Amino acid sequence: MAQGASLRLQLTFQEDGVDFGGRHVVVTGGTGALGTAVVGALVGAGAVCHVPYMHAAEADRFGLRGHAQVTLSGPTDLTDEGAVARLFDAIPALWASIHLAGGFAMAPIGETKKADLIQQIEMNLVTAFLCCRAAVKAITRAGQGGRIVNVAARPALEWRGGAGMTAYAASKAAVAALTVALAEEVAKQGILVNAVAPSIMDTPANRAAMPKADHGAWPKVEEVAVTIRFLASPDNTVTRGGIVPVYGKS
């Protein structure tokens, strides 16, 4: 997303009344298409965002780089326990952690090696688990309660939709299970844990990969960002353990 588009997005989100009041929020995967929309939604609502990245090129093209309410941290390997702990230990008074980082792979099971499965588990489940663990510790230290939002996927809820991408579907289903179990575990600490489950989202990369699809039916990243922002916000006072479908018209 270009710098001008990111700033317009931020201004749009300033108009709808949700107020994070300077609360600190981690957004993993924040430099991607959905991540840029989520960070724009958050800073527009007054949040201070901490965005880890893996490669310098991600940071260089990030539309909100240099924003006064955005801190980029990296390179950060979210599959590394020590790196994740250092990321969260450096954040004062953490309120929320949003975990968008992950990966996608599509192949028949006969062409999916053990290494491919492990990679999907590392990119999707392990990153979410380590960041959830660190977030719970950091939010508990702050003592004000907080929010965690993970990203599952439509095949995590509709398993038949995972045909041809079994490693991905299994790893995202594990993220959904992690979310619900953790929500029950930390509810009494005032930490509400939820996830969204997107279908294919309307991004330039997805349009290029599927040029003949009905792009108008796909959910827009800005629309998904609104749902994520609500789940992470102080306005969400009761929703926990939800895996929220964000399918648009698809």
pLDDT, the chain, mean: 94
Contacts of 121 (CB under 8 A, 6+ apart): 167, 170, 171, 174
- pLDDT, position 250: 87
Q: What mean pLDDT do residues 66-85 have?
A: 97
Q: pLDDT by residue (tens digit) across 25-71?
A: 999 999 999 999 999 999 999 999 999 999 999 999 999 999 999 99
Pair 105, 167: CB distance under 8 Å: yes
Structure confidence at residue 15 as a pLDDT band (50, 70, 90): low
Q: Per the residue annotation, which of 168, 197, 227, 244 is the catalytic one?
A: 168
Report CA dihedral (195, 32, 27, 163) to the nearest 10 degrees: 20
What CATH superfamily classification does 3-245 receive?
NAD(P)-binding Rossmann-like Domain (3.40.50.720)
Q: What mean pLDDT do residues 151-155 have?
A: 98
Residue 93 has pLDDT above 90, yes or no: yes
Q: Tell me the backbone φ, ψ of residue 98, rounded to 5 degrees.
A: -120, 125
- Top-confidence residue, 250 or 175: 175
- pLDDT, position 11: 47
Pair 135, 87: CB distance under 8 Å: no
State how far the Cα of 97 lies from the Cα of 24, in Å rounded to an integer.
9
Pair 169, 217: CB distance under 8 Å: no
Among this protein's residues, is 53 annotated catalytic?
A: no
- pLDDT, position 46: 98
- pLDDT, position 28: 98
Helices (H), the chain: 3-13, 33-44, 56-61, 81-89, 114-120, 127-142, 154-157, 166-186, 204-209, 221-232
Pair 142, 121: CB distance under 8 Å: no
* pTM of the model as a whole: 0.93
**% of the chain at pLDDT higher than 90:** 89
Task: Retrieve residue 9's tokens.
Answer: 């997005």
Q: pLDDT by residue (tens digit) across 181-201?
A: 999 999 999 999 999 999 999
Residue 90 has pLDDT above 50, yes or no: yes
- Top-confidence residue, 77 or 1: 77
> How far are the Cα atoms of 29, 108, 194, 233, 249 from residue 245, in angstroms, in the given order?
19, 25, 11, 18, 11
Angle at 230 between CA 239 and CA 178, to 5 degrees: 50
Q: What mean pLDDT do residues 214-240 have?
A: 96
Task: Retrieve residue 46's tokens.
Answer: 């007054």
Q: What mean pLDDT do residues 85-102 have?
A: 97
State how far the Cα of 201 lies from the Cα of 220, in Å rounded to an integer.
6
**% of the chain at pLDDT higher than 70:** 94
The one-letter amino acid at 247: Y
- pLDDT, position 104: 95
